[in-house]
C-alpha cells in the first residue's frame, strides 16, 4: 500500500512537470527543459503507468495518442449551440453591421470591440469537467457534432487538464476554438502524399477538417495540428470574479493553459477596427498559418446578451473577410425567381466564368434595392466574386463598358408565376407574392420540406416537385403522404421500381424527429438551429402552438423577430389544418424525452428498439413512455440493445434480435414493467 502511494505521488509529479513543459513549449513558445530531459521523464511515467495501470488518468500526457483506431464517430449534442458568423467584405459593410446592432440598443454610445484574426481551419468544441478534458467535438450543424475526443487529445496545444488556480470550484468549462495546420506542416503533408501517389489536399482548411475525422488518432498525431482558443463559456459568466468581457476571457483562456492567437486587439472605435483590418490585409501573408479575415466582437458580455441572435448569427459579432477572388463576365439576362416565402429574387444569368475553382453562370441580386444600387442592366460587364468562397455575387458594374442600348431593369409589379399583384411592405427590402395558392410558393415549400436538413426525402428533386405540382397531385406537403405508386407511375420517367422507392422514402420520413418537422414547416426566420432550440423547450407541437410570444422569446438564441413569426404562424387556420393532417399521416410532433418530472427512472440505462405495429400504442407514444421512465429508444438493433418491443408484422429487426439473444417484450409486458 505504501509503495502504491509513493508511486502515485511520483506519477502525479511527473504529469505536472510534463504538463508545465508542454505548456511552455507549445503555448508560450518558451521551452523550460531540454528535449532529452522531457523524453526521459515521459519514459519514466510510461513505465510506471504500464506497471500500475490502475493509476492511469485521462489527463496523463501518455494518453494523448490512442492506441486503437476508432470504428466510427458518434453524434453528440453541443451543450451550447455553435452559431456561424455573419460576413462583411469591406469597411462599409462593417459599418452597416454596427448600425444594425445599435438600432437594437439605441441608448448605447461608447463601446469596445475585440478584433481577432479569423483562422482558416476547423472549429471544435471542448468540454472540461472538473478541469479534465472529457469531450472534443466538431462543429457539425451547430447543434449536433461528432465526438472526436480521441483525436483532440493528440493536439499538443490543447491541455488535457486546465490550470484552475483560484477557480477550483468550476465544475464545467466549455471552450471553442479553431484547429488548424501551420503552412509548413501542410506543405510537408502534401509532399508526403505526392510521393505516396495520394491525392493532395486542396488547402490547409480541408486538410485540418480531414485530419480531425481520421479514425486512427496516430495519424492525427503525426500531422501535428495546432489550436487557438477564442471562446469561453462558464456557468456564472456574469460574475465579475470570472470575466465580464471577451478581452478578459481571452486572458483567462491563456491562464487556463490554452494557446490564444497573439494577434488580437482591443479597439475603442470602429475606425480602430478598420485600421487593424487594413494592416493585416498584407501582413497576413507573413503569418505561419492561413487567415481569411478578422472576427469583430463587442467586448461586453452584458451587451452581447442584450443583443442575442438572429436566425443564423449572433448580432454582436461579424466576420470581416478579405476580398475573395474576383472575375469579370457579361450579364445575358436578369430572371426573377419566386421562393417558398413568396419573396421575388432577381438573378443575374451570366456568361460562364471560372471563379475560385468552379464555373459560375448565375448570381443572386437579392432585391430591387440592390439592383438600384448597382444599376445593373442586361448586357452589362460585371465583376463577380464568391461571398465567403461559396455564394456567387455581383460586386460592381463596369459602366464604361456598357452598351448604348441598355435600359434600367425594373422589378415586375405582378408575380411572374401566378400573375397576381406583388407587395413590398414598409421597412422591407423584399418584394413578395402574397397569393397562398401560387405554384412557386408551393413548389418552394415542398422543396424545403424534402431537403436534407428537414425531412431528408431522397429522390424528390426539383424536377419531380414541379411535376407533382403542375399535374395537380400535390397541393401541400401533407399530400406527399397520400401519394401512391399508381399516381406516381403516371408521371414522366417514373417506372414501377422508382415509384416504390419514392413511396418508401416518403414513409421513412415519418421517423424524422420533431425538430426536423418544425424546420420543414418553413416558418419564416426559423432555421434548423432555431428549430432544435424550440423543440428542446416545447416537447410537443401542442405546447409550442399554445405558447405565449413572450415565453418563446425568452429562449436563449431566440429573438423577438423569431418569436413573433412562430406565434403568428400557429394562429393561422390553414397552418393548424396542415398540422392536423401531418399528425394523421404519422409525422413526429413529440420530442425525445431525456428526463422526467416525477423522478421515476425504472428504465434508466436501458436501450430499447420498437418494431412492428403495437396493439394500442403508436410508436411515438411507446417511445415517450420509455423515455419518461429513463430509457433510451434507438432505431437499430446492436449488442448494446437491451430490449426489443415487438408488434405485428415485425421485420428484420426481430431476426437480428434473435441472433444477438436480445430480450423481447410485447406491448403488454412493456406496460406491466412501467406500471409495476
CB 43 within 8 A of CB 49: no
Q: How confident is the model at residue 598 (pLDDT cuts 50, 70, 90)?
A: very low
Residue in this structure with the C-alpha cell 413568396, named with its chain if needed: 342
Average pLDDT, the chain: 85
Most confident range (mean pLDDT) of 559-563, 569-573, 603-607 is 569-573
For residue 232, list its beta bridge partners: 175
Neighbours of 146 (CB within 10 A): 18
570: left (phi over 0), alpha (psi -120 to 50) or beta: alpha
φ/ψ of 297, rounded to 5, equals -125, 145
239-247: long-range pairs with CB below 8 Å, 24+: 242/167, 243/301, 244/300, 244/301, 244/302, 245/112, 245/114, 245/299, 245/300, 245/301, 246/114, 246/297, 246/298, 246/299, 246/301, 247/112, 247/114, 247/299
| Whole-angstrom distance, CA of residue 320 vs CA of residue 435 | 38
Has residue 60 got a pLDDT over 70?
A: yes
Give, in degrees to the nearest 5, the angle at Cα 640 between 637 and 643: 65
pLDDT at residue 508 above 60? yes
Longest pairwise C-alpha distance within the chain:
96
- Distance between first and last Cα of the chain: 47
Q: Could you tell me which residue, 493 or 38, shows the higher pLDDT?
A: 493
Reported as a pLDDT band with limits 50, 70 and 90, residue 2 is low
Measured CA to CA in angstroms, residue 641 lies from 123, 596, 635, 645, 668 at distances of 33, 22, 10, 11, 19
Whether the Cβ atoms of residue 312 and residue 84 lie closer than 8 Å to each other: yes
- Helix ranges restricted to H, 391-494: 439-449, 462-470, 485-489
Q: Which residues are annotated as a binding site?
A: 35-39, 84-85, 116, 139, 178, 297, 321, 415, 418, 438
The per-residue pLDDT for 31 is: 62
Exposure string over 93-112, b if 16+ CB within 10 A, otherwise e: ebeebbeebeeeeeeeeebb
Nearest to 20 by CA among 8, 7, 38: 38
User: Hey, how many other C-beta atoms are within 10 angstroms of the C-beta on 391?
Assistant: 12
How many angstroms separate the CA atoms of 399 and 381, rounded?
8
Distance, in Å, from the CA atom of 148 to the CA atom of 215, rounded to the nearest integer, reads 9
Catalytic residue among 118, 606, 623, 653, which? 118
Sign of the CA dihedral with 287 first, then 290, 295, and 301 last: negative
| Arithmetic mean of pLDDT, 331-352 | 93
Residue 384 pLDDT > 60: yes
Q: Per mean pLDDT, which range of 353-362, 385-394, 494-503 is the poorest?
A: 385-394
Residue corresponding to grid cell 451550447:
80
Q: Is the confidence at residue 380, as pLDDT, over 80?
A: yes
Q: Give the cell for residue 544.
A: 409550442
| pLDDT of residue 302 exceeding 50 | yes
How far apart CA 128 and CA 146 sit, in angstroms, is 17
Q: Please work out, in degrees rounded to the nearest 5, the angle formed at the alpha carbon of residue 500 by the alpha carbons of 494 and 502.
A: 75
How sure is the predictor about 509, in pLDDT bands with cuts at 50, 70 and 90? very high
Instruction: Write the DSSP symbol of residue 26.
Output: I
Contact between residue 529 and residue 312 where contact means Cβ atoms under 8 Å apart = yes
Distance CA 190, CA 666 (A): 57
153-167, 341-355, 616-630: lowest mean pLDDT where? 616-630
**Residue-wise pLDDT tens digits, 234-292:** 865 554 457 889 999 999 999 999 999 999 999 999 999 999 999 998 898 889 998 88
Sorting pLDDT into bands at 50, 70 and 90, what band is 71?
Answer: low
**Cell numbers standing for residue 250:** 481571452
Three-state DSSP string of 608-639? EEEECECCCCCHHHHHHHHHHCCCEEECCCCC
Note the pLDDT of residue 390: 62
pLDDT digits (tens, 9 = 90+) for 631-673: 888 777 888 889 999 988 777 788 888 888 888 888 888 888 8
Residue pair 11/58 in contact by the 8 Å Cβ criterion: no
Angle at 382 between CA 378 and CA 387, to 5 degrees: 120
8 A C-beta contact, residue 496 and residue 475: no
Known binding site for Zn(2+): residues?
Answer: 415, 418, 438
Question: Is 118 an active-site residue?
Answer: yes
Q: How many CB atoms lie within 10 A of CB 205?
A: 20
Residue 447 pLDDT level (bands cut at 50, 70, 90): very high
Cα separation, 570 vs 538, in Å, equals 14
Q: What is the pLDDT of residues 130-141, one digit of tens each?
A: 899 999 999 887
- pLDDT tens across 599-634, in order? 567 888 888 888 888 887 777 678 778 877 878 887
Q: Is the pLDDT of residue 222 over 80?
A: yes
Of the two residues 47 and 24, the one the predictor is more confident about is 47
Q: Residue 420 — φ and ψ, nearest 5°?
A: -80, 155
Alpha-carbon distance of 391 to 362, in angstroms, equals 10
Task: State residue 593's pLDDT score.
Answer: 60
- Give the DSSP letter of residue 322: P
Query: Is a pLDDT exceeding 80 seen at residue 19?
Result: no
Euclidean distance between CA atoms 99 and 93, whole angstroms: 10
User: pTM score, two decimals?
Assistant: 0.53
Helices marked H in 83-131: 91-104
Residue 78 has phi, psi (to 5 degrees) of: -70, 140
Position 26 pLDDT exceeds 60 = no
What pLDDT is stored for residue 506 in this prediction? Answer: 95
By residue count, the chain amounts to 676
In this prediction, residue 1 has a pLDDT band, given cuts at 50, 70 and 90, of low
Q: Can you give the pLDDT at residue 67? A: 42
Q: Which DSSP state fits 198?
A: P
Q: How many CB atoms lie within 10 A of CB 615?
A: 9
Determine the Cα–Cα distance for residues 125 and 660; give it in Å rounded to an integer: 36
- What is the C-alpha to C-alpha distance for residues 56 and 48, in angstroms, rounded to an integer? 9
Amino acid at each position: 500500500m505504501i509503495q502504491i502511494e509513493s508511486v502515485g505521488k511520483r506519477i502525479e509529479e511527473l504529469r505536472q512537470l510534463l504538463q508545465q513543459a508542454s505548456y511552455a513549449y507549445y503555448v508560450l513558445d518558451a521551452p523550460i527543459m531540454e528535449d532529452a530531459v522531457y523524453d526521459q521523464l515521459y519514459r519514466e511515467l510510461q513505465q510506471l503507468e504500464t506497471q500500475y495501470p490502475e493509476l492511469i488518468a485521462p489527463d496523463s500526457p501518455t494518453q494523448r495518442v490512442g492506441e486503437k483506431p476508432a470504428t466510427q464517430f458518434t453524434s453528440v449534442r453541443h451543450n451550447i449551440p455553435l452559431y456561424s458568423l455573419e460576413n462583411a467584405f469591406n469597411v462599409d459593410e462593417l459599418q452597416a453591421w454596427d448600425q444594425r446592432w445599435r438600432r437594437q440598443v439605441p441608448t448605447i454610445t461608447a463601446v469596445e470591440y475585440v478584433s481577432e484574426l479569423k483562422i482558416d481551419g476547423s472549429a471544435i468544441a471542448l468540454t472540461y469537467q472538473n478541469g479534465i478534458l472529457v469531450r472534443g467535438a466538431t462543429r457539425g450543424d451547430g447543434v449536433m457534432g461528432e465526438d472526436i475526443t480521441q483525436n483532440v487529445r493528440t493536439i499538443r496545444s490543447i491541455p488535457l487538464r486546465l490550470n484552475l488556480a483560484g477557480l477550483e470550484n468550476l465544475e464545467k468549462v466549455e471552450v471553442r476554438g479553431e484547429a488548424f495546420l501551420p503552412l509548413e506542416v501542410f506543405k510537408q503533408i502534401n509532399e508526403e502524399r505526392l510521393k505516396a501517389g495520394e491525392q493532395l489536399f486542396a488547402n490547409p482548411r480541408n486538410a485540418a477538417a480531414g485530419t480531425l475525422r481520421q479514425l486512427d488518432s496516430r495519424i492525427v498525431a503525426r500531422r501535428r495540428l495546432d489550436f487557438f482558443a477564442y471562446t469561453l463559456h462558464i456557468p456564472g459568466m456574469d460574475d465579475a470574479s470570472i470575466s465580464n468581457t471577451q478581452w478578459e476571457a481571452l486572458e483567462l483562456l491563456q491562464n487556463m493553459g490554452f494557446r490564444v492567437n497573439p494577434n488580437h486587439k482591443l479597439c475603442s472605435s470602429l475606425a480602430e477596427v478598420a485600421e487593424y483590418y487594413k494592416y493585416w490585409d498584407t501582413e497576413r501573408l507573413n503569418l505561419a498559418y492561413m487567415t481569411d479575415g478578422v472576427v469583430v466582437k463587442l467586448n461586453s458580455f452584458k451587451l452581447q446578451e442584450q443583443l442575442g441572435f438572429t436566425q443564423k448569427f449572433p448580432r454582436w459579432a461579424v466576420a470581416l473577410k478579405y476580398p475573395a477572388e474576383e472575375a469579370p463576365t457579361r450579364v445575358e439576362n436578369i430572371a426573377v425567381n419566386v421562393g417558398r416565402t413568396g419573396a421575388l429574387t432577381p438573378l443575374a444569368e451570366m456568361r460562364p466564368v471560372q471563379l475560385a475553382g468552379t464555373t459560375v453562370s448565375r448570381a443572386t441580386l437579392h432585391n430591387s434595392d440592390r439592383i438600384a444600387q448597382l444599376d445593373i442592366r442586361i448586357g452589362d460587364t460585371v465583376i463577380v466574386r464568391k461571398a465567403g468562397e461559396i455564394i456567387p455575387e455581383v460586386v460592381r458594374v463596369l459602366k464604361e463598358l456598357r452598351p448604348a442600348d441598355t435600359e434600367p431593369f425594373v422589378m415586375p409589379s405582378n408575380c411572374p408565376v401566378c400573375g397576381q399583384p406583388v407587395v413590398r411592405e414598409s421597412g422591407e427590402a423584399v418584394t413578395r407574392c402574397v397569393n397562398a395558392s401560387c405554384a412557386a410558393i408551393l413548389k418552394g415549400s415542398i422543396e424545403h420540406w424534402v431537403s436534407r436538413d428537414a425531412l431528408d426525402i431522397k429522390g424528390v428533386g426539383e424536377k419531380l416537385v414541379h411535376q407533382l405540382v403542375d399535374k395537380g397531385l400535390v397541393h401541400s406537403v401533407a399530400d406527399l403522404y397520400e401519394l401512391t405508386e399508381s399516381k406516381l407511375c403516371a408521371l414522366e420517367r417514373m417506372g414501377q421500381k422508382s415509384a416504390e422507392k419514392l413511396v418508401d422514402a416518403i414513409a421513412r420520413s415519418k421517423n424524422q424527429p420533431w425538430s426536423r418537422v418544425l424546420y420543414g414547416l418553413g416558418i419564416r426566420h426559423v432555421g434548423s438551429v432555431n428549430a432544435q432550440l424550440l423543440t428542446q423547450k416545447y416537447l410537443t407541437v401542442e405546447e409550442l402552438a399554445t405558447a405565449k410570444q413572450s415565453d418563446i422569446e425568452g429562449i436563449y438564441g431566440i429573438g423577438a423577430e423569431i418569436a413573433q413569426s412562430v406565434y403568428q404562424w400557429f394562429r393561422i387556420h390553414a397552418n393548424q389544418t396542415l398540422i392536423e393532417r401531418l399528425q394523421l399521416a404519422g409525422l413526429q410532433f413529440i420530442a425525445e424525452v431525456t428526463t422526467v418530472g416525477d423522478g421515476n427512472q425504472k428504465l434508466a440505462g436501458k436501450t430499447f428498439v420498437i418494431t412492428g405495429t403495437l396493439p394500442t400504442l403508436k410508436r411515438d407514444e411507446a417511445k415517450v413512455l420509455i423515455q419518461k421512465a429513463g430509457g433510451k429508444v434507438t432505431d437499430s438493433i446492436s449488442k448494446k440493445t437491451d430490449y426489443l418491443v415487438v408488434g405485428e408484422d415485425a421485420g428484420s429487426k426481430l431476426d437480428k434480435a434473435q441472433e444477438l439473444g436480445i430480450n423481447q417484450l410485447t406491448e403488454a409486458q412493456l406496460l406491466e414493467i412501467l406500471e409495476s
